[in-house]
Structure 1
Amino acid sequence: MHASQTITPAATLTTPVLLLMAVATGLCAGSNYFNQPLLHSIAVALNVTDATAALTVTVSQLAYALGLLLFVPLGDKLERRSLASGLMLLAAAGLFISGYAASFSMLVIGTVLTGLFSVAAQTLVPMAATLSAPQRSGRAVGLVMSGLLSGILLARSAAGLLSDLGGWHTVYRAAGCMMVALALALWYVLPASRNPVSMSYGQVLRSLLALAARHPRLRSRTLVGALTFASVSVVLSSTTLLLSGPGFALGDSQIGLVGLLGVAGAMMASVAGRLNDKGWGLATSAACLLLLLVSWGALRLGLASLPWILVGTLLIDIALAGVHIGNQGVIYQLDPQARSRINAVYMTGYFAGAATGSALGSLAWQLAGWRGVCVAGAALGLMAGAALWHDYRLARSR
């Protein structure tokens, strides 16, 4: 029997180990969001327009989606600890390139490399589910995902604060050092584990299509996730433009602090994980999608009122976390031996949705300003609700 099959969940994933995994996933995912509050500073420093600087948001998400497709499925083939640590070290290289970028093209190269390899986060999430006792897998995934979502939100705050202290490069350099340290720490504390099924890389990639074809609820929940994250990404890509504009005239650190509100929303991931363990996953997803639509109403009022922007930001982050954990609670039960590949299918769609939402947000801003942004985001939220209704019908028909 392979060594990974002899490790008991209790010995493998203690709470401190799960917390370390949560911090690592947070840094990995957050590394793709450092640029959001810094867009104007980047544009000025590298002599490009704000619109050109905003392209790095879409580039990072497209690179992340590609990394999900190419590397995350390897969690079902390679030794998982080595895969996660190796990807994190490569992501650190991308961060250092961005941190010392003297031109926009160099920043794009660093952004692409960071996006491709920071998918290490998505090798750790299914590992938490695989190495936990079945009755506690929802809690384990929820805890790690709380770290991931908190990282995305704290990244914007940290980037803004460090930019005021040492320039926009500072956060990339600091994050690169942290990434190396966490990669080494995970190598030390995580057990060696490997899927007992042996496949070639070509077979792994081909099996992604087979899994999507075999499991209708993988397709439906991927669509729900993609549309939800697209809706949220509409606001992520345009809030900085609103808050740095003449109406509010906020600086990098002030814009970054707005993201701190979302950390409370990220804690919803842990709550949602526990609700999934109790069989309330579908109801939680539906309630969070309703909250998503309410958040767009608050954000629409934020055109002339910062408090409404803060309320909308908090609600939209709670909604994103709840829907995402509900989706993972469904897909991880479809085929336990293929969790990394199932996660790759889901997360590729998830971040493809994010990239689409970012692009739509930028387009809506250019065409109709903040009002157009809110219309686009709410429309995507309604589409996510329709996709969840389809998933509900699939669940009932089983």
Structure 2
Amino acid sequence: MGRGTRLLLAAVCGVAVAGVYAGQPVLVQMGQDLGVARDSAGWLVAAAQLGYLAGLVLLVPLGDMLDRRRLIAAHLGLVAAGLAVTATAPAAWLAFAGLVLAGAFAVVVQTAVAFAAAISPPGERGRNLGVVTSGVVAGILGARVVTGSLAELWGWRSSYLALAVLAAALCVFSLVALPADVRAGAEPYRRVLRSLGGLFTRPVFLGRGLIAFFLFASFGTLWSGLALPLAGEPWRLSEAQIGLFGIAGLAGALGAARSGRWADAGHGARVSGVALALLLGSWVAIGQLGWSLVLLIAGVVVLDFAVQAVHVGNQHVLTSAFPDRTSSAIGGYMVFYSLGSALGATATTALFDAAGWTTCALLGAAFALAALGAWAINERARVRPDVLVRATRR
């Protein structure tokens, strides 16, 4: 895979996933403009995420039966349509519909990752996955920075309109520039869906999924709850200032882009173990938010480095284990991602009101420790394959 193809697929991932998270920094503005009650504004983000979860199950498996180049272009076009509907919606119900549509077809991210894995030589798969997956993190964290800035200048609708234009441009460019998928048309849709369900009985898939569940629960604990203490005493930061912390996370995540090369060299398991230990340690620094922003920034950089390194390693393992079902494997794996992120987000907001940020940091550390434990079980299973089977039956 050439450098241009890697960067194009990374851009596809970044723009698509940014549409899912673009509402987080501007929820108050969106809710007021659309007439949504303050205590219900969170559904503006949840709508896109619910669409995304449905797309993981119903749309991503299409990549195992259709030309993924055309599928990527079609999904980007529908993402653009959903974002445009949201940007121009005169009423809340239409904005919700646009967000669900954009969220559902934002699973083009997983199709792009699976496509990158499928067209990569085995010795370059990890490297290419590292670059393409970095676009996902750039989209998630960059959306916080860009959306907040655009909203202050031209209102919340401008960010969705800008993303719609970018998605439409990438739709055309992908159709022209990406290589054809010569493996297209392998299986009928019903069989592909059954195959996806069958993955949930495979120990290697469940093991990596369990790591991802706790990994992204820890990630969600930070990024869904961080604005709460930063907006309060003693910092009282604005939305735009809070959004700038996404730059620290982005720096850490992009620093882990080389983790794919480490996986290609056979060091993936060791790198994941070290990264999960770093994830656990990052919460010590993040927990000091009440008196030190410097330690918080250091913790954010380390946390996002660790999450990205483990995430790339997990996808390298799964696409290598299921080379004929890369789309289904990535889509199913991301179900664990979605559920973990949702758990971290909901638990953090509830805990912060009741017990403060220190308790939230302990929760994030507990999720990190659980991910490290799941990794240790997987490593034991490499020597004794019965271990993981017994563990996943408990």
Which range, TM-score by smaller chain?
over 0.9
Asked if the contact 1:226–1:349 (Cα under 8 Å) also holds between the matched residues in 2, the reply is yes
**Runs (5+) with no aligned partner, structure 2:** 386-394
**Equivalent residues in 2 for 1:239-318 (5 A)?**
239-318=226-305
CA-CA distance at 1:44 after TM superposition: 4.0
**Equivalent of residue 138 in structure 2, options 137, 145, 150:** 150
Q: State the partner residue of 1:39.
A: 27
Q: State the partner residue of 2:388.
A: none
1:98 aligns with 2:98: no
Distance in 2 between residues matched to 1:54 and 1:303, nearest whole Å: 25
Q: Is the alpha carbon distance of 1:247 and 1:61 closer, same or farther for their aligned partners in structure 2, counting shifts above 3 Å?
A: farther
Greater alpha carbon shift after TM alignment, 153-162 vs 300-309: 300-309
Distance in 2 between residues matched to 1:319 and 1:241, nearest whole Å: 23
Q: Deviations over 1:210-244 (max 9, x none)?
A: 1232x311111011011101111112111122223
Greater alpha carbon shift after TM alignment, 288-297 vs 196-205: 196-205
> SS state of the match for residue 226, structure 2?
helix
**Equivalent of residue 14 in structure 2, options 26, 30, 44:** 26
Q: Is the alpha carbon distance of 1:389 and 1:348 closer, same or farther for their aligned partners in structure 2, counting shifts above 3 Å?
A: same
Q: State the partner residue of 1:358.
A: 345
Q: Which amino acid aligns with 2:220?
A: S
TM-score (norm 1): 0.92
Distance in 2 between residues matched to 1:113 and 1:32, nearest whole Å: 10
Q: State the partner residue of 1:139.
A: 127
CA-CA distance at 1:358 after TM superposition: 1.5
> SS state of the match for residue 236, structure 2?
coil
Distance in 1 between residues matched to 2:285 and 2:30, nearest whole Å: 29
Q: How many residues align?
A: 385
Q: Which amino acid aligns with 2:81?
A: A
1:394 aligns with 2:390: no
Q: State the partner residue of 2:332.
A: 345
Distance in 2 between residues matched to 1:124 and 1:158, nearest whole Å: 23
CA-CA distance at 1:269 after TM superposition: 3.8
**Runs (5+) with no aligned partner, structure 1:** 1-12
Q: State the partner residue of 2:392.
A: none
CA-CA distance at 1:48 after TM superposition: 4.4
Q: Is the alpha carbon distance of 1:111 and 1:365 closer, same or farther for their aligned partners in structure 2, counting shifts above 3 Å?
A: farther
1:322 aligns with 2:309: yes
Asked if the contact 1:164–1:252 (Cα under 8 Å) also holds between the matched residues in 2, the reply is no
1:221 aligns with 2:208: yes
Distance in 2 between residues matched to 1:203 and 1:188, nearest whole Å: 30
**Equivalent of residue 148 in structure 2, options 144, 147, 160:** 160
Asked if the contact 2:126–2:313 (Cα under 8 Å) also holds between the matched residues in 1, the reply is no
1:182 aligns with 2:173: no
Q: Is the alpha carbon distance of 1:269 and 1:129 closer, same or farther for their aligned partners in structure 2, counting shifts above 3 Å?
A: farther
CA-CA distance at 1:162 after TM superposition: 0.7
Distance in 1 between residues matched to 2:161 and 2:340, nearest whole Å: 29
Q: Is the alpha carbon distance of 1:229 and 1:390 closer, same or farther for their aligned partners in structure 2, counting shifts above 3 Å?
A: same
Distance in 1 between residues matched to 2:39 and 2:381, nearest whole Å: 42
Greater alpha carbon shift after TM alignment, 93-102 vs 199-208: 93-102
Identity of aligned residues (%): 36
Q: Which amino acid aligns with 1:99?
A: A
